[in-house]
Amino acid sequence: MKISFLLHNAYGIGGTITTTFNLAQALAERHEVEIVSALRHREHPNFTLDPRVSLRPLVDLRQEKEHPLHLRPARVFPAAEYRYRQYSELTDQRIGEALAATDADVVIGTRPGLNVHLALQAPEHVVRIGQEHLTLDNHSPRLRTALRRAYRRLDALTTVTEADAAAYRRKMRLPGVRVEALPNSVPDPVLPPADGAAKVVVAAGRLVPVKRYDLLIEAFAPVAAAHPDWQLRIYGKGEEHERLRELIHRLGLYDNAFLMGAAAPMEAEWVKGSIGATAANFEPFGMTIVEAMSCGLPVVSTDCPYGPGEIIEDGVDGRLVPVGDREAMSAALLELVGDEERRRRMGRTALENARRYSPGPVVEQAERLIDEVRAGRSTGRPASPEPGRIQHALVSQGFAARDAAYTVASGALRAVRRGRR
């Protein structure tokens, strides 16, 4: 089977690129796989791509940035989509031509605007699967309207959490379209896991306001005061760098908190720490949480919508604290910093629990989804997951979606658990 991924820009840096590369490389074990990059701005990708996966750009901005068609606004790519200004009549044309000529059995879109292209322009014989790496609540009403119209022509839509899949089923009402959670995968580490001895808290991601690194730095101040031999290392780059640097100096943490810059891959940095941390207000999935856990680190995280609560089991393989609660974040960090035995024990459990996000299980789920959608097409019936199957799987694997206020899925999980007591 040939599987093609339609990606915004394979030559950039970001979570969608990382997880697309991960899934494509894992699928390449048994299938012919290609990545079609709508845009290209440099010679080589930032991330190393398995040679078994072919990479094909459609618009090379190094030569075509001033192309007459690229100076005209896009007509297919939805105007309400975040990346709209990067698309044009030229991208409309090239994406349309690529889809019309594809010899792939399955094409997977990786962001809303590209899913619209896929839904509207892919040939009838192609299985069309859209991926959502953000959340439905993150989309404006205008974009939701555009997606509701186009997504009806998809065969399947995947989200990265069960909570968001439930939101799509409930709010978008896409008859005949299978909506299923398919988590991001993280490659199995090649380095020995952390042993919990290093006196280092590690965080990683884009330095942008929603990630709340300011709150993490402030929460770390009491930790540094009580344990001056501990460090906070923050990896990443972004618009908040200077503000965070000034905050570190204002709090007198220049000997304990460090902005380390970007690092790819992060594995070698995770294993130098003993605790992972994230203070985000919003996290569609939580790729860095899984990365840290797979390297043997318990993670202290805000229990924000949607990912952390489905990844971390509070008190077992990490800690979940209320969003924006600096004191709770500080207390959770102090708890693990001050108890080496608990830190080591939770780290070992985190390592074990992170295996559900290894390429093997995620690829098996992706292949099952593709096979069932193709089978449904051949019989003329939409393929739907068995009732409760996803929720049951989440419970059995130890997922903990606890906030019924923002997700129907978590309420279902609670009901299942209560029924088993």
pLDDT computed for residue 418 by the predictor? 33
pTM of the model: 0.81
Q: Residue 306 and residue 339: Cα distance in Å, rounded?
A: 29
For position 152, what pLDDT does the model report?
96
Alpha helices in 340-388 (DSSP H): 340-353, 359-379
Q: pLDDT per residue over 188-225, tens digit each?
A: 899 999 999 999 999 999 999 999 999 999 999 999 99
Q: How confident is the model at residue 48 (pLDDT cuts 50, 70, 90)?
A: confident
Euclidean distance between CA atoms 217 and 57, whole angstroms: 40
Q: Where in the chain is the domain with CATH 3.40.50.2000?
A: 2-181, 200-356
* Overall average pLDDT of the 370-380 stretch: 85
Whole-number CA gyration radius for the chain? 22
| pLDDT at position 380 | 64
pLDDT for residue 113 is more than 80: yes
The token duo for 154 is 């998809």
More confidently predicted of 109 and 401: 109
Query: What confidence score (pLDDT) does residue 293 get?
Result: 98
> How many Cα neighbours within 13 Å face the side chain of 144?
13
Query: CA 68 to CA 73: how far, in whole Å?
Result: 11
pLDDT class for 381, splitting at 50, 70, 90? low
What would the mean pLDDT of 345-365 be, rounded to a whole number? 94
Confidence (pLDDT) at 421: 32
| pLDDT of 110 strictly over 60 | yes
pLDDT tops 90 at residue 344:
yes
Tokens of 389: 């199957």
Query: What was the pLDDT predicted at 377?
Result: 82
Mean pLDDT of 387-404: 35
Query: Would you give the distance in Å from CA 154 to the centre of its chain?
Result: 21
In this predicted structure, what is the pLDDT of residue 331?
98
The stretch 256-273 carries a mean pLDDT of: 94
Buried/exposed 159-182: b ≥16 CB within 10 Å, e otherwise? bbbbbbbbbbbeebebeebbbbbb
Over residues 276-330, the pLDDT tens digits come to 999 999 998 999 999 999 999 999 999 998 899 999 999 999 999 999 999 999 9
Over 60: is that where the pLDDT of 387 sits?
no
Contacts with 61 (C-beta within 8 Å, 6 or more apart), sequence order: 39, 40, 41
Superfamily of the domain at 200-356: Glycogen Phosphorylase B; (3.40.50.2000)
Q: How confident is the model at residue 264 (pLDDT cuts 50, 70, 90)?
A: confident
Rounded to whole angstroms, the Cα distance separating 151 from 171 reads: 13
Averaged pLDDT, 222-246: 97
Across residues 374-387, what is the average pLDDT? 64
CA pair distance 311, 195, nearest whole angstrom: 21
Give the architecture-level CATH label for domain 2-181.
Answer: 3-Layer(aba) Sandwich (3.40)
CA gap 173, 150 in Å, rounded: 12
Does 372 score more than 60 pLDDT? yes
Could you give the count of Cα atoms lying within 13 Å of 289 in the half-sphere of its Cβ?
30
For the chain, what percent of residues have pLDDT higher than 90?
81
Q: What is the pLDDT of residues 125-155, one digit of tens each?
A: 999 999 999 899 999 999 999 999 999 999 9
Mean residue pLDDT of the chain comes to 89
CA atoms within 13 A on the CB side of 193: 23
**What is the pLDDT averaged over residues 219-234?**
98
Q: Please give the order of strands across the beta sheet that includes 257-261.
A: 257-261, 231-235, 200-204, 275-278, 299-302, 318-321
